[in-house]
Amino acid sequence: MLPKKSLWSCAACFCTPIVGLEYGQARLLPSGSIVFPRRFLTTRPIDTPRELKELPTTPSIAQKRAAERLGNIVEQQMRYLRGKDPYKIGQYVEQALRRNAFDEALLLVQKVGRGQQVVVAWNLLIDYQFGKQRIKEAMKLFNDMKKRGQQPNSRTYTVIFRGLSKQTNTKLAVSEAVKQYNSLIKGDRVESNSIHLNAAINVCAKAGDMDALFRIVDTINESSRTPDALTYTTILNALRFSTMDEIKDAEPEKKAESLQKLVSGGKDIWAEVIDKWSDGALKIDEELVCAMGRLLHMALPRDSTNEVLDLLTQTMRIPNLVKTPNSDAHQDEKMRNIAATGSTKPVHATPHAAYAVPGRKTLSLVLTVLASTRQNTAGIKYWNLLVRHYGIEPDNDIWFRLLGLLKVAKASAHASNTLDLIPEQIFNPTHCRIAMEACVRDNINLNVIKNSTVALETMLKKLKIPDVETLRLHLRVALVSHFRYRKMAAADKLDEAKRLYGVQLTEALNRLWGPYQKVHHHYFEVIKPKDKEREASVLEIQNEIVALARQMFSAFNKVVNEKMLPNDDLEEMRLIASKLNRDIQDFFSKHGTSLARTSPVVGESADENGDDKASGQDKQGADFIWDTTKSTEFKQQQELKQSAPAYRRESPRSQETSRRNFRGRNGR
């Protein structure tokens, strides 16, 4: 007799009835295979799962190993750093950050800081994040620091404000700076001081947010947050830059109104500075004086130079050499070498105030102001006073400003001689170009060729490879310096004038031939570029060299075509011209004519800024090349202009238009 089967003895019998229990409904199903068809899995229709359960993510093996390795490094360092001087811990953190090992430094500081104050290390971490333009991460570190019981000190807030001033996201930086500054002055754990005040003002100034700046200025007091010279310097510079942005695209009336407002506000601030300085409550410095000087120079008319120079007299005891040109400022022996490097001379002082010591920024300001009004003589006097007597050592920027002043003043002799004074370690081709441009502008001067030659010789002496642009400008000086020859032609001495003009051009070509060969050999034979970028750069220079060759060849053709010199005198020049022509043909046969320079020397203006175009009748020749074959027609037009009544004389702009039309008719 077979034993009776029960529900518990058969797996199929047991599983069949309880399949639907999970879904709230159970019923008996026919017994069968343990593998069920799909229709028996549920009795409730469901389209989507009721709940999505996210699988727990686990770090990869590489991440685990990196974390373990980092932990081991930190544990090894903690053996030596735990309980050590916070300064030593800060040194290690600084070294780690130099290696960009931020995670290592952060983990170390977090562990070491459990038993001691390591604010120095936290400050370094915050500063590192600001250096990476991470404002939110830096402030998160600051908050984490406080949560871990590390008390911020005065240096912490200084790091925050200075870090915010370097951020590109200026809007967020200003918002965070104002927030932290207000928190600082309202709190009692850290006392705010003038350093915090200046740093917070600097954040607003760099962002151009004047409203936020003056809200911070309103918190100034006479105890802990007293303003110093840096405070006023930052405010004056912020006013100036804000106004510059405001008037950039403004209408003339709006521009004048903004400048007047700037002058008024600047003078109000300066009156407060002078009052405190006179009472001995404020020490002024060169930065503050120059900030006010630049503000006045920008806002006042160009003929108000004396206000800036009087400012220097008031604060530095530098005499106004424009008002008193005959005064001998070198007689004051107390000021000799007062600005020299390492000078220990005491600063001149009144019973309550010490004068500021002039430096490079003062000299730069003076040269800029005088160049804008073309006061060349006064500029040279100030240079001799500040450099030779006061002992200021000019930097590269000041040398550029001096040469720019001499160029504007058309002082070719001074500009050429100045090149020899520039130290070789900062001497560069741009100095030579500015000096040559001064010679181009001074083409009426009878000695301009001599001055241009001095500049050329100085360049060849100080530079290993001649500058192509300087060579081109030297040729241009020879081409446009024909004022006296035109005078001779007007006096019925045309043949003599043509001969002297031809001699001038051929001598210039002879001087340029040697430097041309040197620079051509260097860039066509010696230099072999290894990559495409370098090859493009060299090709550009080669194009400039060939442009110079074309201009030299054109100048020679001018001498020949206009029959300035007899053919017997041109034999040597013909050999040079043939070599120039061969170089030109070789270059364009290899690279094509698409690289040809499109600005020939004969059509260029003497001054790119247009300063020379309205200079009147006495500057003829600066903007065209004299065609000796058209001298008779030119003479007739000059006589017609001279005979015109005074009340019918043309304006400078009309004169320039007439000269252009005249040149156009004659094909110049």
Cβ proximity of 479 and 472 under 8 Å:
no
The 3-class SS string of 108-122 reads HHHHHCCCCCCHHHH
The DSSP letter of residue 18 is: T
| Predicted pLDDT at 89 | 86
List, as one string, the DSSP characters of 558-575: HHHHTT-S-GGGGHHHHH
Residues linked to residue 349 through DSSP beta bridges, in sequence order: 354
Give the position of tokens 């199903």: 29
Position 648 scores a pLDDT of 41
244 CB contacts (<8 Å, ≥6 apart)? 298
What's the whole-model pTM score?
Answer: 0.75
What amino acid is encoded at 364 in this protein? Answer: S
Helix/strand number for the chain, H first, E second: 27, 0
Closest residue by Cα to residue 379 from 391, 364, 392 = 364
What are the structure tokens assigned to 465, written together? 């490879």
Structure-derived torsion over alpha carbons of residues 388, 391, 393, 398, reported in degrees to the nearest 10: -60
| DSSP-derived secondary structure letter, 48 | S
Nearest alpha carbon to residue 312 among 349, 364, 366, 259: 366
- In angstroms, the CA 324 to CA 129 distance is 56
Q: What share of the chain is helix, strand, coil (3-state, %, to 5)?
A: 65, 0, 35
Give the type of residue at 447: N
Count of Cβ atoms closer than 10 Å to residue 645 Cβ: 6
Q: How many residues are there in the chain?
A: 668
Q: How far apart are the first and last CA of the chain?
A: 135
Query: How far, in Å, are 41, 42, 124 from residue 7 at the CA level?
Result: 21, 22, 75
Q: Tokens representing 648?
A: 């019918």
Sign, Cα dihedral of 587, 591, 592, 597: negative
Cβ 432 vs Cβ 458: under 8 Å: yes
124 neighbors 130 (Cβ within 8 angstroms): no
pLDDT for residue 115: 77
CA distance 240 to 233: 11
Amino acid at 240: R
User: Residue 447, exposed/middle/buried by CB under 10 A (0-12, 13-18, 19+)?
Assistant: middle
CA–CA distances in Å: residue 225 to residues 62, 100, 200, 426, 591: 53, 36, 12, 42, 68
The pLDDT assigned to 66 comes to 75
Q: What pLDDT, on a 0 to 100 scale, did the predictor assign at position 615?
A: 39
d(CA 213, CA 206): 10
pLDDT of residue 65: 76
Are 488 and 433 contacting, i.e. CB atoms less than 8 angstroms apart? no
Alpha-carbon distance of 463 to 518, in angstroms, equals 12
Nearest to 416, CA basis, from 429, 403, 425:
403
**Alpha helix ranges (H) inside 187-285:** 194-207, 210-217, 229-246, 252-278
Query: Which burial class, exposed, middle or buried, applies to 462 when counting CB atoms under 10 A from its CB (0-12, 13-18, 19+)?
Result: middle
Please identify every stretch of the chain with a pLDDT value under 50, giving residue numbers as ranges.
1, 22-23, 36, 40, 352, 598-621, 645-668
* Closest to 497 (Cα-Cα) out of 479, 483, 511, 508: 483
- Enumerate residues 6+ apart whose C-beta is below 8 A from 289: 311, 312, 315, 316, 356, 362
- Looking at residue 208, its pLDDT comes to 92
Q: Are 363 and 398 in contact (CB under 8 A)?
A: yes
